[in-house]
Structure 1
Amino acid sequence: MSNSSGINGPAIFVAQYISDEAPFNTLEGIAEWAARLGYKGIQIPVDERLINIQRAADDLSYCSALLDTLKRYDIQLTELSTHLQGQLIAVHPAYDILFDGFAPQDVRGDPPRREAWARNILFMAAKASKNLGLKAHATFSGALLWPYLYPWPQRPQSLVEKGFEELGTRWKPILDAFDEAGVDLCYEIHPGEDLHDGVSFERFLNAVNGHRRACILYDPSHFILQQLDYLRFVDIYHERIRIFHVKDAEFVPNGRQGVYGGYDSWTERAGRFRALGDGQVQFKGIFTRLIQHGYCGWAVLESECAFKDKMVCAEEGAAFIASHLFPLAKTSFDDFAGSGISDDQVSRILGIS
């Protein structure tokens, strides 16, 4: 569904739903399930159960068949996602073992080969996105600096500068590949990534010389957890926002913990993700600002509630998103009271001869 505001939706990111069990183990199965719930689009990760990324990069007939599969259920492909592969473009050694599981067995334990594998997936994703007629792509930036987020022990400023310089060096060829494909590369601004707020995104932009394809996947839930003004963020960075994840969250600090969470589990943390409408995100304000600033992408549910079953979240999500889509007003509410004065009369009012 597309309305005259320019925002498309509702759509759903299916990464949290893929499994080896039907209907979540095939593209057709997921498309049928999403359509039955009222979704008009799906955002899919680069996962072999849903897409052969090499074929999608090289074979237009394969891409046509993939889109035809979705079309049978009146579903559109919103974007591809390489969150896991993007994470592997930049991994601090402290996280090597934890992130090895994102890569194939044959490159685990070998960071340079693992990075090369991930980079190749991103290059193929750029071509595949073009072949599929997509305008944006979702990913993570990875992180070389995350262990040094808090400035203790004291860190030299050169550490931060060198980290972003290296991050820019690694991503510049990938951004160029997406530019060649005519596709925006959208980094999810997310804790755990070097690009986790506006300041860090600006540092990255400087490192890639303001690359026009370096864009943003906007997810307000991550800003609730950081206590960042997520409405003002839209006003500041709207020109770079190309993908929108509709996800709720709450931040309820107490006398024992706050933003950092005290190593507690998701259900016990002061900041936690919630089902749409169960948290604190002011979605009416977000949709209004996105429409005001001309956002014309999709509104995509991402379901990561700490309490509610993800199937219930999916069932509720389509109607929630649809209820926030509205057409932009074509006239002013006070047109009925217009005085109808001429330009000459305006000059007279101002005392201009």
Structure 2
Amino acid sequence: MKTLKGPGIFLAQFIGAEPPFDRLETMAAWVADLGYVGVQMPTGGADSFFNLELAAQSQVYCDDIAGLLAEHGLQITELSTHLQGQLVAVHPAYDELFDGFAPPQLRGKPQDRQAWAVSQVKAAAVASRRLGLSAHATFSGALAWPYLYPWPQRPAGLVEEAFAELGRRWRPILDVFEDEGVDACFEIHPGEDLHDGASFERFLDVVGGHPRANILYDPSHLLLQQMDYLGFIDRYHERIRAFHVKDAEFRPDARAGVYGGYQGWVERPGRFRSLGDGQVDFKAIFSKFAQYDYSGWAVLEWECALKHPEQGAREGAPFIRDHIIQVTDRAFDDFAGSAPDAARNRRLLGL
């Protein structure tokens, strides 16, 4: 049995213009002081701390980043290309909204933007290998999301063609991850075509069950869809290679339910919460990960409609640490056991 690693923290939600959130060096000191031992590193956006193109080309650069973090007792858990992965597949209805994820010179140029995104995710596979990482966090993007609700009735073959195209775009990327020995972990997330188990299975079909097509498990997104997030682990544990520890609550009322009624996050029946403030049963989740030998990282992704991010980060490290199960190296009843004896076993069976 294996003990998972942690606590880690995803830096994306904390990067800002003010110290200590404006530089990797000071951010590293901050999260280490809070008790974290790993950081999930965002690689997209103008304010990123990490030069993805350089990391794919230079072992020296990767060693320098790893060394900077090691000075604070930290290591990288995974690189993240959530923003770039989103741009691998964008329905035209979302072109303008997602243009902000791309460099300014690519905005309004969806084909060029997509080509850039593909090159970015491939570069992340190479950079991950240089850093000695085994998993990578990303989004799948979405072509079929505008047609999620079947009204008006979807034309026959529409969803099948959307996933076929998604597979055509991702298969060459997954092949690069295979070459580099790294798992591509898709966060199962509304807004992505891979947003639940059924859609992930459909994707696996179109990429031929690719061994590098895996899952970033975040129970908050499953709870807000009213899914069995514990049964999800039972069903897909062999494909779960990354883990966001994020809480959520769902309190439907007479006005709104899963869809939220176009309300803001504070008013929605389903909303993200800081760890321990929501409804997710993390004791059961960590138990299942211990049962299934999950050996990856437990990484805080802080998103809360109510609590200040610094309080959420401060509370997150001890929460995760206290939930990590150090797996046993022996059975609890070993003291009552006896040495193997084939002849005795046959006697006990009346043979």
Q: 2:129 matched to which residue of 1?
A: 130
Greater Cα shift, 248-257 or 16-25: 16-25
Amino acid at match of 1:317: G
- TM-aligned CA deviation for residue 343 of structure 1: 3.3
CA RMSD between the two structures: 1.4
SS at match of 1:101: helix
Q: 1:346 matched to which residue of 2?
A: 345
Q: Once the two structures are superposed, what CA deviation does each residue of 1:283-303 show, in whole Å capped at 9, x if it has no partner?
A: 011111111111111100000
Q: 1:189 matched to which residue of 2?
A: 188
SS at match of 1:268: coil
SS at match of 2:41: strand
Q: How does 1:298-313 map to 2 (within 5 A)?
A: 298-313=297-312
Q: 1:253 matched to which residue of 2?
A: 252
Q: 1:18 matched to which residue of 2?
A: 15
Amino acid at match of 2:180: A
Q: Is the 8 A contact 1:249 1:281 kept in 2?
A: yes
Unaligned residue ranges in structure 2 (runs of 5+): none
SS at match of 1:257: coil
Q: 2:142 matched to which residue of 1?
A: 143
TM-score by length of 1: 0.96
TM-score by length of 2: 0.96
Q: 2:113 matched to which residue of 1?
A: 114
Q: Is the 8 A contact 2:38 2:75 kept in 1?
A: yes
Q: Is the 8 A contact 1:5 1:326 kept in 2?
A: no
2:4 equivalent among 3, 7, 17: 7
**Separation of aligned partners in 2, 1:139 and 1:285:** 25
Q: Is the 8 A contact 2:3 2:325 kept in 1?
A: no
Q: How does 1:55-204 map to 2 (within 5 A)?
A: 55-204=54-203
- TM-aligned CA deviation for residue 222 of structure 1: 0.3
Q: Is the 8 A contact 1:25 1:49 kept in 2?
A: no
Q: Once the two structures are superposed, what CA deviation does each residue of 1:167-221 show, in whole Å capped at 9, x if it has no partner?
A: 0000111111111111100000000000000010000001100111001000000
Q: Is the 8 A contact 1:86 1:122 kept in 2?
A: yes
- TM-aligned CA deviation for residue 335 of structure 1: 3.4
SS at match of 2:266: helix
Does residue 43 of structure 2 align to residue 46 of structure 1? yes
Q: Once the two structures are superposed, what CA deviation does each residue of 1:29-72 show, in whole Å capped at 9, x if it has no partner?
A: 11111101110000011045411111111111111111110011
Q: How does 1:220-235 map to 2 (within 5 A)?
A: 220-235=219-234
Unaligned residue ranges in structure 1 (runs of 5+): none
**Separation of aligned partners in 1, 2:340 and 2:49:** 61
Amino acid at match of 1:141: S
Q: Once the two structures are superposed, what CA deviation does each residue of 1:269-316 show, in whole Å capped at 9, x if it has no partner?
A: 111100100101110111111111111111000000111111100000
Q: 2:25 matched to which residue of 1?
A: 28
Q: How does 1:314-329 map to 2 (within 5 A)?
A: 314-329=313-328
Count of residue pairs brought into register by the alignment: 349
Q: Is the 8 A contact 2:42 2:48 kept in 1?
A: no
SS at match of 2:170: helix
Amino acid at match of 1:315: R
Q: How does 1:200-215 map to 2 (within 5 A)?
A: 200-215=199-214
